[in-house]
Amino acid sequence: MKRSEINQLIIESLEFFDKMNFKLPLWAYWKAEDWKGKKEECAEIRNNMLGWDLTDFGSEDFQKRGLILFTIRNGNLRNDKKPYAEKAMIVEEMQETPMHFHWNKMEDIINRGGGNLVLELYNSDSNNEFTNEPVIVKVDGIERVVEPGGKVILTPGESICLTQGLYHRFYGEPGKGKVFVGEVSAVNDDAHDNCFYETVGRFPEIVEDELPAYLLASDYDKFF
């Protein structure tokens, strides 16, 4: 992806969060130059990969298969005692986050506003394959049984609890608009805790056609 595309996506995301009346931390709005000289005081942000994150999952087609998100808070099992994480995400209509589960993380996925979020679900077996067993999930604390590969559609205000080993993919429902999605979970560890059904990439290759307007979490090491 071009850096110019990433810059524009973050600008549009800030506008969307503002439209949703959702306020990010002040440092979410820092330009690249605002980070200079703050390496030590921002150690938790750097070490725990807080901030802007963007992926096309190796598809080279962000609008079809991709996700932009902001990690608001996150623990680090090596460095601190915080056992939880929170993210704010934006999902476009038919923009897929591909099928995956987490080995250790349990999470609540929340539709905080905008359109509808569609999730497709499978249980996994010991070989990380889909099973034919019905999926039992809770939507806002109410148990629901879903057929293998079946859909749960979250309207604004609804949430679903996804347990460890539960395959899920999600996208915005066509014709309903982009979705403001929240995630509240155990500590997030993208380096070790994701099991994708297909082989995918996590961070895009960036063509630096212009300077970063805002830093991604994956920019911190090279920037500092």
Residue 153 clears pLDDT 90, i.e. is over it: yes
Q: Which residue has the tokens 């996590």?
A: 202
pTM of the model: 0.96
For 156-168, b/e burial (b = at least 16 CB within 10 A) is: bebbbbbeeebbb
The predicted model gives 162-190 an average pLDDT of 97
Residue 143 clears pLDDT 90, i.e. is over it: yes
Domain that holds residue 31: 3-223
Length of the chain: 224
pLDDT at 41: 95
Q: Do residues 172 and 93 lie in contact, with contact meaning Cβ atoms separated by under 8 Å?
A: yes
Residue 79 clears pLDDT 90, i.e. is over it: no
Q: Do residues 162 and 107 lie in contact, with contact meaning Cβ atoms separated by under 8 Å?
A: yes
CB atoms within 10 A of CB 23: 9
Cα angle 140, 198, 105 (rounded to 5 degrees) comes to 35
How far is the C-alpha of 60 from the C-alpha of 65, rounded, in Å? 8
Residue 166 belongs to domain with CATH number: 2.60.120.10
Number of structural domains in the chain: 1
